[in-house]
Amino acid sequence: MSVASDSPVHSSSSSDDLAAFLDAELDSASDASSGPSEEEEEAEDDEESGLKRRKLEHLETVDEEEIEEASSSKGECQHPGSFGNMCFVCGQKLEETGVSFRYIHKEMRLNEDEISRLRDSDSRFLQRQRKLYLVLDLDHTLLNSTVLRDLKPEEEYLKSHTHSLQDVSRGSLFMLEFMQMMTKLRPFVHSFLKEASEMFVMYIYTMGDRAYARQMAKLLDPKGEYFGDRVISRDDGTVRHQKSLDVVLGQESAVLILDDTENAWPNHKDNLIVIERYHFFASSCRQFDHKYKSLSELKSDESEPDGALATVLKVLKQAHALFFENVDEDISNRDVRSMLKQVRKEVLKGCKVVFSRVFPTKAKPEDHPLWKMAEELGATCATEVDASVTHVVAMDVGTEKARWAVREKKYVVHRGWIDAANYLWKKQPEENFSLEQLKKQQTSMALDTYASSNPNEVHEDVLLKARDACYKARDAFYACLEKESGKKPTEIATVGLLYPKECSSSRTQFVNNCRSSWVKHFDREYCRNKRVQRLLDDGDERKGPMSLPQPYTFKPSPST
């Protein structure tokens, strides 16, 4: 207080200035509510030592000079983006504009011009490094996760086979107890990432939430050398339930996407490489209505050297090599999407395909997805047979074209042959896809790959014979339920239906013979009928006690 007492005039004026300055500064900067005793605190501030006041005065003058300088010398700022709603070039407060880049920082936003500028400068830089972009999905593509409580009893053995979280670079099966999850990395994923990182700048883009995405990134990339901060989760996307490249800072013509779900990328199908889904856990099979046993139940796994990831890696290498072929030329106009198409065209090159009873007669065959797929894979499609035809795709041996093919010693295959080539990026041996094989395989493992992607496949369990068996088992079970209605129902079926122990054998029969969705449907139907019957019953006493609404009485809450 020595300064104040020495020169009271100066002190009073400067403290006024200070108060005004503080007010202006604080009001402009904060919209948060202030404490209850602000006046007092300000008074306290004013009574602080003179030294501090001088500093503040100094600060104040500097501040004003800065503002003048900025406004006079730089002219109009374009506001390329904002950080915490402040333009990061001029510091001005801005409205919320532009695209949010939450995965970099939650307060980061960039406008369109800045994004395209960044993309431009980046692509030039990457061309020098001979790199492209690769956007990777997590679930079913690079790994498979399950919630611990969804583990089947047959999978319990996995718990003792998990690898340590200390050294994730070597293991592939991890228990994340704090998230209540178990995660299995797809075989070959470590080598895949290592090799791909030399050709691509990689992003993770997942529909999981951020915590999950970060955790998985840590498992795949413990040192952070592959992905860095380029981990995009559901929370960071701009459109709900969709993935989009607008938050990826790369030219669309230089981005490849690897995902198991085509529908997630409605606007970027040309950049997309669809990979066969990786189902390791039984819960994941259930989720996608797979009827077959999961890899974990079979205690097997995908093969390392020629699993799906290895196949895709080869494709990526080809596309990359094509893109950077003849680097001396100007490559700024090159488009990786056309490279990808070119690679695809090699798959069934030289094949001439005729379809027989695959398409509905009324529709134009050219519009059918299978026709398009075959053409994308480089095959020539035709509607009529002639000498140049190499393959006949049929679903039945009896068709005219199929018989012609057998006579002319041409290949007769079912549509799985094209699907397999589509997924595996390679022409498959025709012997594995002959029509006799089709019949044999329908119940075996080999086909489950295509069943999920292929709603046109014949499902034997809904055909007449299977259906009859199912109905018989169903009727037996419900008859048993009626017969044993006096017994105490202890077992639980679907939709809350209870049944006594005596009926459990017929229940097993029922469940084994019918699709799970059917079982559920029948159970629901049964319960509904029962309920209607009960409601129609005249015996009032069976409806249970009735509760009348109690008259409302006011009670003051105990807290105040």
Q: Which of residues 34-53 bind other proteins (CB under 8 A)?
A: 34-38, 40-41, 44-45, 48, 52
Judged by beta carbon, residue 388 or residue 557, the one nearer other proteins is 557
Residue 412 β-bridge partners: 392
Question: Could you say whether residue 68 binds other proteins (CB under 8 A)?
Answer: no
Nearest approach, Cβ of 44 to other proteins (angstroms)?
Answer: 4
75 lies in the binding site for other proteins (CB under 8 A): no
What is the nearest approach in angstroms of other proteins to the Cβ of residue 285?
A: 37
Does 560 interact with other proteins (rule: CB under 8 A)? yes
Asked if 2 touches other proteins (CB under 8 A), the answer is no
Candidate residues 57, 83, 302, 441; the one interacting with other proteins per rule CB under 8 A: 83
Q: Which of 2, 9, 31, 384 binds other proteins (CB under 8 A)?
A: 31
Closest by CA position to 99, among listed 111, 107, 85: 111
What string marks each residue from 125 to 154 as x (binds other proteins by CB under 8 A) or -?
A: xx--x-------------------------
For residue 197, give every residue at least 6 positions away whose Cβ sits within 8 Å of its Cβ, in sequence order, or none: 225, 226
The answer to the question of residue 224 lying near other proteins (CB under 8 A) is yes
Evaluate whether 273 touches 257 at the Cβ level (below 8 Å). Answer: yes
Single residue of 11, 92, 442, 494 touching other proteins by CB under 8 A: 92
* Separation CA 123–CA 474 (nearest Å): 63
Which is nearest to 108 in space by CA: 120, 117, 116, 99?
99
Residue 438 neighbours by CB under 8 Å, 6+ apart:
395, 414, 416
CA separation for the pair 205, 138 (Å, rounded): 7
Q: How far is CA 242 from CA 115, 141, 288, in A?
A: 20, 17, 18
Q: How far is the CB of 169 from other proteins (least distance, A)?
A: 15
539 lines the binding site for other proteins (CB under 8 A): no
Q: Tokens 């995009």 sit at which residue?
A: 232
Do 275 and 452 touch, CB atoms closer than 8 A?
no
* Rg (the chain; Cα; Å): 34
According to CB under 8 A, which one of 4, 88, 301, 500 is a site residue for other proteins?
Answer: 88
Residues that bind other proteins (rule: CB under 8 A) add up to a total of: 60
Question: Which CB, 36 or 551, lies closer to other proteins?
Answer: 36
List phi, psi (to 5°) of 266.
-65, -25
Binding segment for other proteins among 33-41, 345-353, 395-403, 468-476 (CB under 8 A)? 33-41
- Single-letter amino acid code for the residue at 72: S
Phi, psi dihedral angles at 138 (to 5 degrees): -95, -70
Residues that bind other proteins (CB under 8 A): 25-26, 29-38, 40-41, 44-45, 48, 52, 55, 59, 62-63, 66-67, 70, 80-81, 83-93, 101, 104-105, 107-108, 110, 118, 121-122, 125-126, 129, 201, 223-225, 228-229, 249, 558-560
